[in-house]
Amino acid sequence: MFNHQPVVADLLDKQLSGGLRVANLPAEQQALAQRSHAAASDLMLATSGEGEQLNAAFTYATDIFDQATIARLAAHWRNLLASVCADPLQTVAELSMLSTDERAQLLDIDSAAKADTTTPAHRQFEAQVQRTPSAPALILAREGQALSLSYAELNERSNRLAWQLREQGVGPDVLVGVALGRSLDMPVALLAVLKAGGAYVPLDLSAPSERLRHVLQDSGLKLLLTHSQQKTTLPELAGIQCLCIDQMSSAAASPQNPDIAVDPANLAYVIYTSGSTGRPKGVAISHGALAEFVTLGANYSDLREGDRVLQFATHSFDGFVEQFYPPLCRGAAVVLRDKRLWDSTTFHQAIVEHGVTLADLPAAYWLTLVQDFAASPPAHYGALRQIHVGGEAMAVEGLRLWHKAGLGHVRLLNTYGPTEATVVSSIHDCSALTAEQVSWRGVPIGRALAGRRLYVLDDQLNLLPQGAVGELYIGGPGLGPA
């Protein structure tokens, strides 16, 4: 990646003319027009004053800046001068670079109407069951023969478990831990908790016991779903009831959809992130926020009935939400990865064998795949038509190798969003981007999704103009409660 670090990046040249006086010599002063075609630095602002007039000119490196950027910079400089003249007693932090029109534009730039969806995710899934009951909903891609459940089978199994959870007192805002590995029982359990009106807390069985203990204690949950073989790996805590679903008999439970009233403000799930201090922190997401994201995710992913979406992330990461709920609410099949972390050869074999059309991948894993595929391009990628990349910054190197790997026909989305903002806040289609286009600036995170607002603010929480460096703030109904 090109790393631009000039010795002198920016210069300010200030010239003031006040009349030239040379004693005892018949000298005259004349201002000469100057034009420079070569930049002595990446960016130079030259100013000269004459009377009450101030003239200024920018000279810039055209391989770094375009004309539109310099025009914005010039306008912001004029706005700063006007702000100083309007109130010379202001502090520097109080000076504004923005015009009234630009401020209004920035405040409105990401204010697209939110997705008008209040139907809970599990209700959207139930509606899809009515449309495509026999279509495959889950496929467990394991070594040997794959296992699968149809939409009707998944709905019936989750309904029976939901009624059993109701008997255990599960209802709105009641937390239920889900400590299950990569099996068909895991998605059944998640849907069952939502159908019972509760909120699930996913626990990664491969996590250190200290983390699991903290999540169990901090969440305050009283009920935990797991398997009998996995129960022994969990910390024993007083007051928590464990239900081993592989030992539960569901024959007597109703297969019908539970009709439990759920308010959009009720919790749907609580995911524990690492937290800024390194100590796991619970992030709560409501049914309303999840319902909205299901619609948004299905729309920007262009999901269709018959699609097959790779479920790559563990259920304790919010990437799982994007890979699980939108597909099941649009008639697609979710292909669950087994417990192995696939190398590039196994990944390619799996997506071809199972007809995967969309894969959502961590940025580091995606880069490894692209490097391997560019070194030895496969003959084809089966039905694959779309890849999403998220979790961390997308590497520019990956864009350089994308077409070399024979993936030019595959749509490539860069997705960005913290867990607190319900998975994804913005997307950028990188399909046509090249490494040279983004260079040292990095891959864009794109525009905000409908209902999300993105603002770049300074340390004083002042709105910054386009292209300025600051902190990114996210707003909108998709945010979890503080």
DSSP-derived secondary structure for 359-372 = EEEEHHHHHHHHHH
Residue range 27-63, pLDDT digits in tens: 444 444 555 556 567 888 888 877 777 788 888 888 7
Residue 149 lies in a domain: yes
Query: Which segments within 274-357 are labelled E, that is strand?
Result: 281-286, 308-311, 333-337
Q: Which domain holds residue 96?
A: 10-108
The Cα–Cα gap between 123 and 185 comes to 19
Residue range 82-124, pLDDT digits in tens: 888 888 888 887 888 888 888 888 887 655 556 667 899 999 9
67 and 126 together in one domain: no
Q: What is the mean pLDDT of residues 387-410?
A: 94
Residue 360 lies in a domain: no
In total, how many domains does the chain have?
2
Mean pLDDT of the chain: 87
Q: What is the CATH number of the domain that holds 157?
A: 3.40.50.980
Residue 103 lies in a domain: yes
What confidence category does residue 135 fall into, taking pLDDT thresholds of 50, 70 and 90?
very high
Angle at 440 between CA 435 and CA 442, to 5 degrees: 70
The Cα–Cα gap between 54 and 33 comes to 14
Residue range 63-73, pLDDT digits in tens: 778 888 888 88
Phi-psi group of 24: left, alpha or beta (phi > 0 → left; psi -120 to 50 → alpha; rest → beta): left
51 and 176 together in one domain: no
208 and 88 together in one domain: no
pLDDT at 433 (0 to 100): 83
Higher pLDDT, 355 or 231: 355
Q: Could you give the percent of the chain with pLDDT greater than 70?
A: 88
Residue 34 lies in a domain: yes
pLDDT at 114 (0 to 100): 60
Supply the Cα-derived Rg of the chain in whole angstroms: 29
Range in 8-12, 150-154, 235-239, 449-453 with the lowest mean pLDDT: 8-12
Residue 429 lies in a domain: no
pLDDT at 222 (0 to 100): 94
Residue 94 lies in a domain: yes
91 and 127 together in one domain: no
Q: Do residues 216 and 226 make contact, with C-beta atoms less than 8 angstroms apart? A: no
Q: Is the pLDDT of residue 80 over 90?
A: no
Tally DSSP H helices, then E strands, for the chain.
13, 20
Higher pLDDT, 410 or 442: 410
Residue 340 lies in a domain: no
pLDDT at 21 (0 to 100): 47
Report CA dihedral (19, 24, 27, 29) to the nearest 10 degrees: 0
Residue 199 lies in a domain: yes
What confidence category does residue 481 fall into, taking pLDDT thresholds of 50, 70 and 90?
confident
Range in 78-92, 209-223, 257-271, 322-336 with the lowest mean pLDDT: 78-92
Q: Do residues 118 and 288 make contact, with C-beta atoms less than 8 angstroms apart? A: yes
152 and 278 together in one domain: yes
The last residue of one of the domains, among 274, 289, 304, is: 289
Q: Is the pLDDT of residue 350 over 70?
A: yes
pLDDT at 112 (0 to 100): 54
pLDDT at 3 (0 to 100): 44
67 and 129 together in one domain: no
Residue range 287-341, pLDDT digits in tens: 999 999 999 999 999 999 999 999 999 999 999 999 999 999 999 999 999 888 8
pLDDT at 30 (0 to 100): 47
Longest pairwise C-alpha distance within the chain: 115
88 and 150 together in one domain: no
The last residue of one of the domains, among 289, 321, 346, is: 289
Helices (H), 87-208: 100-108, 121-131, 151-167, 185-195
C-alpha of 230 from chain center? 31
What confidence category does residue 25 fall into, taking pLDDT thresholds of 50, 70 and 90?
very low
Q: What is the mean pLDDT of residues 200-228?
A: 94
pLDDT at 100 (0 to 100): 83
pLDDT at 437 (0 to 100): 75
Q: Do residues 332 and 134 make contact, with C-beta atoms less than 8 angstroms apart? A: no
126 and 269 together in one domain: yes
Q: What is the mean pLDDT of residues 216-234?
A: 92
164 and 235 together in one domain: yes
pLDDT at 183 (0 to 100): 93
Q: Tell me, what DSSP letter sits at residue 287?
A: H
64 and 193 together in one domain: no
The Cα–Cα gap between 93 and 74 comes to 19
Q: Do residues 100 and 107 make contact, with C-beta atoms less than 8 angstroms apart? A: no
Look up residue 51 and give its two tokens: 């009377």
The last residue of one of the domains, among 289, 306, 336, is: 289
Burial of 392 (0-12, 13-18, 19+ CB in 10 A): exposed
Q: Is the pLDDT of residue 5 over 60?
A: no
Phi-psi group of 132: left, alpha or beta (phi > 0 → left; psi -120 to 50 → alpha; rest → beta): beta
The Cα–Cα gap between 102 and 117 comes to 32
188 and 248 together in one domain: yes
What confidence category does residue 482 fall into, taking pLDDT thresholds of 50, 70 and 90?
low
Look up residue 149 and give its two tokens: 């459940």
157 and 238 together in one domain: yes
What confidence category does residue 410 fall into, taking pLDDT thresholds of 50, 70 and 90?
very high
Q: What is the mean pLDDT of residues 354-358?
A: 98
